[in-house]
Each structure stands twice: as C-alpha cells, then as structure tokens.
Amino acid sequence: MINSMTGFARSEAQVPEGTVLWEVRTVNHRYLDIQLKLPEGFRALEPEIRQIATSKIRRGKLDASFQFVRAAQFVPETEVNMEQARQVIKHLETLATQMHNPAEVSPMTVLRWPGVLNQQEDDPAAVFAVARETFNTALNALVDHRGREGKKIEAMLERRCADIETTVSGVTARLPEVLAGIRKRFAERIAGLDIDPDNERLEQELALIVQKLDVSEELDRMQAHVDEVRTALASTEPVGRRLDFLMQELNREANTLGSKSADSATTQGSVELKVLIEQLREQIQNVE
C-alpha cells in the first residue's frame, strides 16, 4: 500500500482553560519538511511535535498550525503598580510646569506606561498534554487521508502498468514479422543492384543490421521494470523515490525502442508507451 503526499486534517479539544485547535496539511516535497506555527508560550512543545510528526510521516511538506483560545473565566488577571503609576504622574506634573497650557493627562496614558499595568502570565503547561494529544489525533486523521488518496493512486498506477504490458506484448508479437520484413527489404535492394553478391558476407551484414534493429532486449527490460513497479507498490515502506527512478528507466527504454524502430507500428507503440509512462510519472510525484 502506498500513501499520497497531500492531505488535510483538523482536530480540536475543549479544556477548562479554553479551546485547543490544530490544523495540519501536507503537500508534495522531495524530503520531509516540517513547518510549525506555535503561539508564544507553546514553543516548548516544538521538539515533541516534530518527533511525533517524524514518526508518522516520511516525506512531504507538513504545515502544522496551533491555536489556543483561552476561556473567558480564565482571562489573566491584571493589577496596577501604584508606585510606578505615582512616579509617572509625578514626572508628568513636573513636565507640565515647563509647558504652556499643557493638555490634561488621562488615566489611560498612565496605564499605557511600561510597568504600570501588570498582567498575570499565562501558564500554557496546563494544556500541553491536551495539545500533544490533539496533535496526535489530527496527524492520525491526516495519515488516514493520505492513505485513502494513496489507494486511488495505486489503482491508477496498476491500470497504467497493465496498459504498458498490453503495448509491450503487441510490439513483441510483431517482432518476428518486423525482422522478417527487414531481411526481405534488404534482399530486394541487393537484388535490384544487378550484382553477384557474396552470400556469406551478405548474410553477415544482414545479421548485423537485424541485430541493431532488434528491440527484444528493450521490451524485456520494460517488462522487468513494470514488475519492479508492482513490487514497489506492494511494499510497506515509502517508495516514491524508487518509483521515480523506475520511471526514468522505463522512459529510457521507450526512447531506445523509438530510435531503433523499423516500422510505423513499432514507432506508434513507442509513442503510446511514452504517454503512459508520463501519466505514471505525474501521479508518482505525489507518492510518499
């Protein structure tokens, strides 16, 4: 079974302190790239979150966004530092004596002065355990999503492999006829030259030409590569890179088949194979 590299999941949980929310999504990437968005106070979670993600996802770009909305009854308390406020007021009054018709100073101006209004710091550690659990839930849902997409991709890859085998079988079945046609055309050309050829030498040259145009090895290797694709699809490990390499090998054999083609049907078969391989390659770019 293979996995897709694209997916999305969302998970939230209610705790007495507020609401914990995770959104996770993945897209194609050559390697595993984890991007985390954590609010202040929750940065200490990052190493654990990365470890959890690495244990379940092997390839793709993961964007994970965390939000914590504190409940109204848990709004941090604030207190006024009266000593600091008196110092600020005293300085403002001193400045006012040096100014002509100064504006009145509002209490809000004093409260905005650094150190006058103290807010109780949040203690996010109380919801760390829930944050980890909620991330696990979201990540499991994401993995399930990627698995469902992977099944669809696998079915499509299998169909394309079957189409490649059908095309290869058709070209292989015509190979004896193609080679016989090459020999016939070569003999007709020699006969048209009105010369007395050396039959032994002629047969050697003919054998060399037929050998150069024989594509049976390319067809055998294409079948072997298709078998390797199926073996990879049955693996429980991430196989995206291996499949990408096999596509390069299949494409190389299809190109050689086209360059050695001695008739239009073989050339058409080469073109069809290239189309099928490209369709495979496009889907494999999304395989983990």
Per-residue pLDDT, 109: 80
Residue 40 CB: number of other CB atoms within 10 A?
7
| ∠ CA 107-112-118, rounded to 5° | 105
Distances (CA, A) of 114 to 18, 99, 102, 109, 286: 28, 24, 22, 10, 52
Q: Does the predicted TM-score (pTM) go above 0.85?
A: no
Q: Which secondary-structure segment (H or E) carries 247? A: helix 240-259
What integer pLDDT is reported at residue 218 of this predicted model?
A: 87
pLDDT of res. 246: 95
Which residue numbers in the chain have pLDDT < 70?
72-77, 119-124, 194-213
pLDDT at 173: 86
H or E stretch including 11?
strand 7-15
**Pairwise CA distance, residues 128 & 43, whole Å:** 11
Residue 264: per-residue pLDDT: 80
Residue-range domains of the chain with CATH: 7-74+125-146 (3.30.230.40), 78-119 (no CATH), 149-284 (1.20.140)
Q: What is the pLDDT of residues 2-28, one digit of tens each?
A: 899 999 999 999 888 889 999 999 999
For 43-52, the CB contacts below 8 A with 24+ separation are 44/125, 44/128, 45/128, 45/131, 45/132, 48/132, 49/132, 49/135, 52/132, 52/135, 52/136, 52/139
CA angle 16, 43, 80 (to 5 degrees): 65
